[in-house]
């Protein structure tokens, strides 16, 4: 068992192997994830019951919750990849960080924007300096710093190392930010606003929500593979295997 | 939800998310296609 | 040990000869402190409530001016390369550099922040937590500044500040909260302890990371 895992790890570090395998996997994952998102959104938008308190606007939950949760998961996965890159110098981890950072930023942006659009009719304001909103904003800033750092170094390896350092510092700091924002928030604001009423969610609403979360996670997997392929194809343009592979197609 | 009634909040979220998702799919695809076609062009010349 | 005291002396000499390194932040601090009453309101009641946050934000922004000083000149004249090649303990050298930078860019501002009692009508009982939280909080900010400076060496990019400001958010929150607590007669010692904990926790991590970042520029 351990041997298989070890083999898999070594294969994962190889660009040609990844490029070939991902080319085979991508169409299936893509079709599956997109159809899952479409099904869950149609279910959520048209067939799930209307919320008694918030009315139809609550249906934004089917886009807001998956986006926010996936944006945090992406950051944690990136920081694991950063540790792998710094400890074992696995080149693929650098590709992973560079490819997943824009996806994470995009979903954090979707989460912030859909939250604002949801907040406007329900709370009456677009933005509240609530603990969760603030820490999501900080997460977005970290993503921007990671993306901005990519272009400051001439050599690929230095850029990857710098980005890994930032990511790890960020993941050390994020819990501190989260906790301190919590304390800050409790002083200044009464806890009258809670973002989600998830505790009392009915199963007719819960099933499409879970489906949409699954769909978005698979979609991130799909676009992650696409971005990694694109990144590898730029990095390995002049390598023999890439020339052979692309001239065969 | 009623089909006849147009809820601007929901549909703006849907359209923005759809746009960003399409962007996330087609940006890397375009990049891969560009890199692969670059090599084919080099071989022809 | 003699080697490190020599470096410490050298750093002190460099900073004291170059007056712009410590006058810049001081001037920035004084200008912005005197602009707040003009821009916001000259009503003592409003300013009194805003004062803790205003002072902390100004200190944070004035370190943005100075953090690039920590490594940039040594990078341009090549002495960082020599330090890297010397085989000495680099994290200690970086610590010395950060410390001297803190003494020259943050300490004058902390002393000057006493004036905010007159200029921003900060109540006198808020002065003690203000000074203590600044004394403990600004080294953490200088650490972040050193990391950002080490990563963005030789480039005039926005990435340095963009990295530094979200990192220093907890320090800002805890610092202003300590002052607000003391103004409301709440015990603020827990905030000071937390600030100290953050400083001690992050000190080795950031020193290690900024040494790694410095090495990146000389592959």
Q: What pLDDT score does A70 carry? A: 93
The predicted model gives C113-122 an average pLDDT of 83
Mean pLDDT score of chain B: 81
User: Which contacts (CB < 8 Å, 24+ apart) does range A86-90 have?
Assistant: A86/A161, A86/A164, A86/A165, A86/A168, A90/A12, A90/A13
Nearest to C169 among A138, A144, A187 (CB): A138
A147 and chain C in contact, CB less than 8 A: no
A64 and chain B in contact, CB less than 8 A: yes
Would you call B39 and A223 a contact, using CB atoms and an 8 Å cutoff?
Answer: no
Residues in chain A within 8 Å Cβ distance of B26:
none
Q: What pLDDT score does A206 carry? A: 81
B22 and chain A in contact, CB less than 8 A: no
Which residue of B6, B21, B22 is the best one to mutate when testing the A interface, meaning the one whose CB has the most A CBs within 10 A?
B21
Q: What pLDDT score does A188 carry? A: 43
Asked if C touches A (at least 3 Cβ pairs < 8 angstroms), the answer reads yes
What are the pLDDT digits (tens) for C79-95?
Answer: 888 888 887 888 888 99
In this structure, are residues A64 and A114 in contact, taking their beta carbons and an 8 Å threshold?
A: yes
C206 and chain A in contact, CB less than 8 A: yes
What are the pLDDT digits (tens) for A145-172?
Answer: 888 888 777 788 888 898 999 899 888 8
What are the pLDDT digits (tens) for C180-204?
Answer: 888 888 888 888 999 999 999 999 9
Would you call A173 and C170 a contact, using CB atoms and an 8 Å cutoff?
Answer: yes
What are the pLDDT digits (tens) for A211-230?
Answer: 999 999 999 999 999 999 99
Considering only A97-101, A209-213, A229-233, C159-163, which range has the smallest mean pLDDT?
A: C159-163
CA of C192 vs chain A CAs: smallest distance (Å): 13
Tally A–C CB contacts below 8 A: 74
Residues in chain A within 8 Å Cβ distance of C206:
169
CA distances from C29 to A188, A230, C110 (A): 27, 47, 10
Taking CA–CA distances from A227, the nearest residue in chain B reads B28
Taking CA–CA distances from A184, the nearest residue in chain C reads C173
Tokens representing residue A130 in the block: 């609530």
pLDDT tier at A46 (50, 70, 90 boundaries)? confident
Which residue of B29, B39, B41, B45 is the best one to mutate when testing the A interface, meaning the one whose CB has the most A CBs within 10 A?
B39
pLDDT tier at A185 (50, 70, 90 boundaries)? low
Separation CA A185–CA C177 (nearest Å): 11
Tally A–B CB contacts below 8 A: 89
The predicted model gives A94-104 an average pLDDT of 93
The predicted model gives A64-82 an average pLDDT of 92
pLDDT tier at C137 (50, 70, 90 boundaries)? very high
pLDDT tier at C105 (50, 70, 90 boundaries)? confident
Taking CA–CA distances from A243, the nearest residue in chain B reads B39
A131 and chain C in contact, CB less than 8 A: no
Q: What pLDDT score does C75 carry? A: 82
In this structure, are residues C70 and C148 in contact, taking their beta carbons and an 8 Å threshold?
A: no
- Angle, nearest 10°, between helix axes C79-86 and C189-216? 90
pLDDT tier at B45 (50, 70, 90 boundaries)? low
The predicted model gives A201-214 an average pLDDT of 82
A143 and chain B in contact, CB less than 8 A: no
B44 and chain A in contact, CB less than 8 A: no
Would you call B24 and A120 a contact, using CB atoms and an 8 Å cutoff?
Answer: no
The answer, yes or no, to whether residue A194 has pLDDT greater than 70, is no
Residues contacting C168, CB < 8 A, separation 6+: C60, C140, C141, C144
Q: What pLDDT score does A85 carry? A: 92
pLDDT tier at B44 (50, 70, 90 boundaries)? low
> What ipTM did this prediction achieve?
0.84
CA of A106 vs chain B CAs: smallest distance (Å): 7
Interfacial A residues in 177-236 facing B (CB < 8 Å): 219, 222-223, 226-227, 229-230, 233-234
CA of B9 vs chain A CAs: smallest distance (Å): 6
The predicted model gives C15-29 an average pLDDT of 83
The answer, yes or no, to whether residue C125 has pLDDT greater than 60, is yes
Enumerate the β-bridge partners of residue A55.
A51
In this structure, are residues C174 and C40 in contact, taking their beta carbons and an 8 Å threshold?
A: no
The neighbour count for residue A22, using CB atoms within 10 Å, is: 16
A153 and chain C in contact, CB less than 8 A: yes
The residue among A152, B20, A181, A78 whose CA lies nearest residue C172 is A181
Considering only A62-66, A182-186, C110-114, which range has the smallest mean pLDDT?
A: A182-186
Q: What pLDDT score does A189 carry? A: 42
The answer, yes or no, to whether residue C32 has pLDDT greater than 50, is yes
Q: What pLDDT score does B27 carry? A: 92
Torsion of CA A31, A37, A42, A44, to 10 degrees: 160
Residues in chain A within 8 Å Cβ distance of C147:
165, 169
The answer, yes or no, to whether residue B2 has pLDDT greater than 70, is no
């Amino acid at each position: 068992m351990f041997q298989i895992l070890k083999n898999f790890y070594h294969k994962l570090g190889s660009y040609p192997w990844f490029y070939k395998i991902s080319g085979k996997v991508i169409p299936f994952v893509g079709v599956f994830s997109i159809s899952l998102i479409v099904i869950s959104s149609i279910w959520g938008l048209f067939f799930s019951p209307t919320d008694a308190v918030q009315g139809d606007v609550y249906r934004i939950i089917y886009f807001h919750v998956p986006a926010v949760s996936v944006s945090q998961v992406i950051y944690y996965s990136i920081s694991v990849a950063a540790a792998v890159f710094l400890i074992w110098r696995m080149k693929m981890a650098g590709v992973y960080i560079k490819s997943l950072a824009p996806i994470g930023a995009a979903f954090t942006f979707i989460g912030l924007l859909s939250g604002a659009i949801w907040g406007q009719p329900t709370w009456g304001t677009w933005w509240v300096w609530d603990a969760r909103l603030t820490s999501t904003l900080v997460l977005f800033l970290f993503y921007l710093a990671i993306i901005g750092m990519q272009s400051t170094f001439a050599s690929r390896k230095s850029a990857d190392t710098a980005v890994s350092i930032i990511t790890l510092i960020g993941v050390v700091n994020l819990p501190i930010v989260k906790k301190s924002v919590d304390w800050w928030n409790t002083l200044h604001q009464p806890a009258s606003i809670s973002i989600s009423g998830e505790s009392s969610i009915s199963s007719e609403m819960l099933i499409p929500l879970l489906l949409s979360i699954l769909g978005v996670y698979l979609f991130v997997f799909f676009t992650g593979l696409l971005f990694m392929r694109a990144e590898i194809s730029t990095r390995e343009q002049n390598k023999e295997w890439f020339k052979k592979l692309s001239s065969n197609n | 939800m009623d089909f006849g009634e147009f809820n601007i909040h929901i549909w703006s979220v849907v359209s923005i998310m759809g746009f960003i998702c399409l962007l996330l799919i087609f940006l890397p695809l375009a990049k891969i296609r560009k890199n692969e076609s670059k090599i084919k062009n080099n071989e022809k010349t | 040990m003699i080697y490190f005291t020599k470096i410490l002396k050298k750093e002190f000499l460099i900073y004291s000869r170059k007056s712009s390194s410590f006058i810049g932040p001081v001037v920035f601090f004084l200008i912005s402190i005197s602009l707040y009453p003009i821009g916001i309101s000259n009503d003592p009641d409003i300013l009194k409530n805003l004062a803790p946050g205003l002072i902390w934000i100004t200190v944070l922004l004035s370190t943005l001016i100075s953090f690039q000083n920590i490594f940039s000149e040594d990078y341009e004249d090549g002495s960082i390369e020599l330090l890297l090649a010397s085989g000495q303990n680099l994290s200690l050298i970086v610590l010395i550099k950060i410390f001297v930078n803190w003494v020259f860019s943050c300490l004058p501002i902390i002393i000057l922040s006493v004036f905010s009692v007159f200029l921003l009508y900060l109540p006198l009982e808020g002065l003690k937590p203000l000074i203590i939280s600044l004394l403990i909080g600004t080294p953490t900010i200088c650490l972040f500044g050193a990391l950002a400076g080490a990563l963005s060496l030789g480039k005039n990019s926005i990435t340095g500040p963009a990295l530094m400001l979200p990192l220093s958010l907890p320090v800002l929150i805890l610092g202003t909260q300590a002052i607000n607590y003391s103004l409301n007669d709440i015990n603020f010692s827990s905030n000071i302890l937390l600030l100290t904990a953050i400083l001690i926790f992050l000190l080795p991590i950031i020193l290690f990371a900024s040494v790694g970042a410095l090495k990146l520029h000389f592959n």
